[in-house]
Chain A
Amino acid sequence: MRLLVVEDDKDLNRQLCSALEDAGYVVDRAFDGEEGHFLGETEPYDAVILDMGLPQRDGASILNAWREAGRSMPVLILTARDRWSDKVNAFDSGADDYVTKPFHMEEVLARVRALLRRATGHASSDLVCGPLVVDTRNGRVTINGNPVRLTSHEYRLIAYLIHHQGRVISRSEIIEHLYDQDFDRDSNTIEVFVGRLRKKLGMDLIETVRGLGYRLDVPEAS
């Protein structure tokens, strides 16, 4: 899952990014309105955390521009203003949820989790695919109730696949959503991680669709 954090305060931006990275997301960061707007419009993010008061261009106008350009990723608003009028305006611009400053980091993480879940049509934070269960609240992965230890990269991959289970996902889509902008797109890393996952999960959950990509699905009983 690849996220964008647009926050002009350098410290807060750093804290948000490291907390989100610790939770297993890939995070791009922007420090002003123009940069944030550009990244959000050009890169395929799964969710955006957007501060309302930004230099150069304020959050509401960025959000409006994204929505008008047809960008529909869920957007979590960070705002210092606790009046409902500000929130109503933000929602009318296309926000999906808000967190009021000063906030606890867990709150942001919970909101992001819920937004991602809702965006991919999942009601619960436990994502299930046959015997495989991924608990997005704490990053725990189990097969038939037995915990599986995954590295952060492996977790990102399986989390993205299980969010979009049943759909064929191309290699480039995986790269776009699992790595930040600077990732070397020609490397073989994805094949390596898929191989490791198959080994750890021990089953044929991840199917290779030749020429198209990968698909996570409940194996058909044979």
Chain B
Amino acid sequence: MGAWFNRASLAQRLTLGALVTSFTVLLAAGFILAQIHRRATERAFDERLSVYLQALSGSLASPIDQDRSDPSDLGDPKFDLPMSGWYWQIEPGPANSGDMIASPSLFGARLARIVDPQLKSDQLGVVQGYMRGPDERRLRAIERTVQTPDHVWHRIRVAGDADEIEQAVAAFRLPLVVTLGLLGTLIAVLTGVQVTLGLKSLRRVQTGLAAIRTGQADQITGSYPPDLAPLVREINLLLESNRDMTERARTHAGNLAHALKTPLSVIQNEVQGVDDDQAASKIREQIAQIQTQLQWHLERARQGAMTSAIGRATDLAQVLGGLERMFAKLWHARAEGDQGLTLQMEIEAGLQFRGEKPDLEDMIGNLMDNAGKWARQEVKVTLRRHASRPLFAEVIIDDDGPGLPEAQRVAALKRGLRLDETRPGSGLGLAIVADLAKLYGGILVLETAPLGGLRARLELPIVEA
């Protein structure tokens, strides 16, 4: 039971608790009601018996010499039928002599004593209780001792068939059980409704959390009942501190990189001029390794931070605008010829990427950088809503360079699992983009551009505006 209770849901626990309580109460109520009814029935029965008792004692009360009314004439044929279950009997007290008179129904038998006599409270000297009749039938009886005017004590006993009481009790029991059963069912249904309604707010919290996890929201919003509001507030604060921690982790990672990369530059430049030195070439090799390690771990930290950072939306057009300004300037500055590269942008406004801005900038930045490395004259960037995939946007980066043969495209997107295979350079850039896109539930596809070179098509999830 204990183990089950620990496993049971909140709804199950609440329902079980309510049901156990209400059924206990209903059972007790049923029992008490049945008892009260039995008492009332017994009392009504006793009233009838006492009417007969009074009639019998009345008949004894008349003086002896006068014409005594016949006690046997109670006006009820039940007392005349043999073994009808209804009897009376007048017996003289122990100190007195005299004949015993009894109802014809007794048929010569005698009534036994009351088994468990109780004093009837409202009538003085009257005793009531159950007894066994001459035919072993259960009887309800009352008795009383009276003194006739000639100072003779008589004990009058009247008994009736207890079956009548049992029948009345049984007749009451059925409607009682049905009524209480209906009441119990009603309570069970109401409990179910109440639990469902009561837990609805909890379910709303759950829906809110799911929305955060899938990036549609960054907080649980809406008003909640006072007992849930603190929980919601705490969750929101937790999310906020989680974001702060993510931010701090990134800052630390960035600082670490900066701190290590400057001395690395110094070492690298220091051994640059030395060509034939074995130590110098060893150092160069080690620097390359350190650099690869740095990049690898920085990126790991970044991706770890990304999966824990939730609920961000980034304006795609804005990010592309920033990258456009930068690459236009960069390609102009680096161009060896007169023209440099022309950058064409075709941007659909209002699309919100479901994720972090720096990650989006890294993805598109790497792709544009790569395109710029290979392009002869032109790079074209297109942003639009995905034609067939709802809640996805497409960023297409075309160049007019040599392109990539189909066989090499898969390899370009695959990152070597061994550290020493992941050299910084053109290959790693595309792999990083593919990994990032995958983490966000998107995809990077390499195709042939209409301009003749490589087309990188990035499908990214967006937030519904």
Contact = CB atoms under 8 A, between A and B. Distances in A.
Q: Do A and B share a complex? A: yes
Nearest to B364: A84
Contact of B333 (A83, A103, A118, A125): A118
B365 A88 contact: yes
B12 to A, nearest CB: 50
A83 B261 CA distance: 14
A104 B268 contact: yes
Interface in B347-399: 357-358, 361-362, 364-366
Contact of A91 (B287, B330, B362, B364): B330
Which bucket holds chain B's interface residue count? 35 or more
Contact of A74 (B257, B333, B336, B365): B333
A97 B272 contact: no
Interface stretch (B41-49, B318-326, B415-423): B318-326
A12 B358 contact: no
Contact of B336 (A83, A115, A125): A125
A138 interface: no
Given A53-B258, A97-B334, A88 B326 contact: yes
Contact of A102 (B287, B298, B326, B337): B287
Interface in B242-288: 254, 257-266, 268-270, 272, 287
A92 interface: yes
Contacts of B287: 102
Given A12-B262, A85-B358, A105-B272, A92 B334 contact: no
B13 interface: no
Given A12-B269, A123-B335, A81 B257 contact: yes
A11 interface: yes
Interface in A11-43: 11-12, 15, 19
Given A85-B357, A105-B272, A114-B334, A12 B266 contact: yes
B438 interface: no
B35 to A, nearest CB: 82
B145 interface: no
A80 B333 contact: no
B113 interface: no
Given A9-B266, A15-B266, A111 B334 contact: yes
A91 B295 CA distance: 23
A186 interface: no
Contacts of B265: 9, 12, 15, 101-103
Given A80-B258, A83-B361, A88-B361, A96 B264 contact: no
Given A19-B269, A91-B326, A101 B262 contact: yes
Given A9-B262, A101-B262, A104-B272, 12 more contacts: A9-B263, A11-B266, A12-B262, A74-B333, A80-B254, A83-B254, A84-B366, A88-B322, A88-B326, A92-B325, A98-B330, A101-B265
20 contacts: A12-B269, A15-B265, A15-B269, A53-B258, A80-B257, A80-B262, A88-B325, A91-B330, A92-B325, A96-B333, A97-B330, A97-B333, A101-B261, A102-B265, A104-B268, A104-B272, A111-B334, A118-B333, A123-B335, A125-B336
